[in-house]
Amino acid sequence: MKHRTPPTHVLIIVQNLPVPLDRRVWLECQALVDEGYRVSVICPRGPGDPARQHLDGVDIYKYAPPPEAKGLIGFAWEFAYCWLRTAALSLKVRRRGRFHIMQACNPPDTYWLLALLWRPFGVRFVFDHHDLNPELFLSRFGEPRGVVGRLEYSMLRWLERRTFRTAERVISVNESYRRVALERGGLPAEHVTVVRSGPDTTQMRPIYPSAPRPAGGIELVYLGIMGPQDGVDQALLVMDELVHARGRLELTATLLGFGDCLDDLRAQCTALGLDEHVTFTGRVDRVQIAEYLSRADIGLCPDLKTPLNDVSTMNKTMEYMAYGLPSVAFDLAETRISGGDTVLYVPSGDLAGFADAVERLMDDPALRADLGRRARARVASELDWKPQSEAYVGVFDELTGRGRSVGRHQAEVSRNGTDPQGRRYVDLGDAIAFDRYLRERRAP
């Protein structure tokens, strides 16, 4: 009897977000599964998540997250706790079948040591470079001062170097990150591949929202993490300017997501007297994201220019674009690369200018429709996940010497024009219907 060769098994490690909530990692998982790889994931558990899942061909192992970290000791404990829980779960994954490649997604830059421990067993290491941790430190705390600050910063640089030197291949989210891998990491160009976090535009596309819109109202939306570097406080200050200083009482904002600053942001919102105009949703899933981004009029990208933000790709920018949603952003290098001429840009920190740009879109439905139409076309033609997924899987094919197979299935839009929840997709091929939707953001 002829025995079939078992599929190459990839173990993906994520500490920053649960899976499948982490959209980039979930798209990577699906790309590998579609090409015949076996995929396992280790990640923290989100609220209500089971400890073990088998979802869409992916085995997911989850551990209880540690308490929120504060201070150097707190972060050291968080990293150590997550590392140990991940190492223990990697043994459980191994008992269920050998894995051949380990992919670690940062932050933090600590899993190179686990890769070294597995290397004698033939496991190869791929580093998926999501964040620049030294730049994150500079963005939060400024140039390091004092013994402790310099020690923390030096440790981050050392951990980054160790990760680069241990990895056999590095996947960078954009050209700015690739340049860091080449120059700071000293890696050969052929070992670093850019895989942008583009959305799957066959799935991430406008629907006719089910919730009714307030008559005459304009809705802003923010989607993303709410940490110190994400600028959500700037969005609240812009709302204060528009609602209280300029009298735009028809304006509301829905802020989607969670993070370290969520409680502080809610307190700031109350202090500014904006509770009637601003809604915080907390964590949202793909179903809710489609509803909110299809209903909103204007997307907000309030990330200030910092050493990290300027060179980081903001997923929310491309997600707004996928839903034909015009947006306003502080002017960052990588945001311009994503948004092109489909976003209104404002100098970083210019709150009055940001409010002016939002007000301009509020008062000009034709401009909103034009930017939304061009944004959707740009993200579908230039930033879509499909070519990125081919580059991503190509890293594993090249690393293992595996020939490319034909994908077992490709995501398709439902033939009856509805999503899995039965909500109608906007017909993007009907120019008149699409234009009406872009102006009104509601069902006909």
pLDDT digit string (tens) for 100-115?
999 999 999 999 999 9
202: left (phi over 0), alpha (psi -120 to 50) or beta: alpha
Q: What confidence score (pLDDT) does residue 72 get?
A: 64
Q: What confidence score (pLDDT) does residue 347 get?
A: 98
What's the length of the chain? Answer: 444
The list of the chain residues with pLDDT below 50 reads 1-3, 405-413
Q: What confidence score (pLDDT) does residue 152 get?
A: 87
pLDDT in tens, 2-15: 445 779 999 999 99
Residue 287 tokens, joined: 């179903």
Separation of first and last alpha carbons in the chain: 61
d(CA 293, CA 324): 9
d(CA 190, CA 162): 19
pLDDT in tens, 80-139: 999 999 999 999 999 999 999 999 999 999 999 999 999 999 999 999 999 999 998 888
Per domain, the residue ranges of the chain are: 9-198+385-400, 218-380
Alpha helix positions (H), 142-258: 146-166, 175-183, 232-240
- Topology, domain 218-380: Rossmann fold (3.40.50)
Contacts of 334 (CB under 8 A, 6+ apart): 174, 176, 310, 311, 312, 313, 314
What's the Cα-to-Cα distance from 19 to each of 28, 367, 441, rounded to whole Å?
Answer: 11, 37, 30
Superfamily classification of domain 9-198+385-400 = Glycogen Phosphorylase B; (3.40.50.2000)
Domain 9-198+385-400 and domain 218-380 have a common topology: yes
Please name which of 279, 321, 316, 276 lies closest in space to residue 438, comparing C-alpha atoms: 321
The model's pTM is: 0.88
Please name which of 102, 84, 81 lies closest in space to residue 9, comparing C-alpha atoms: 102
Strand 218-223, strand 327-330: pairing? unpaired
Q: Is 67 helix (H, G, I), strand (E, B) or coil?
A: coil
Q: What confidence score (pLDDT) does residue 417 get?
A: 86
Specify which residues 301 forms β-bridges with. 329
CA atoms within 13 A on the CB side of 254: 19
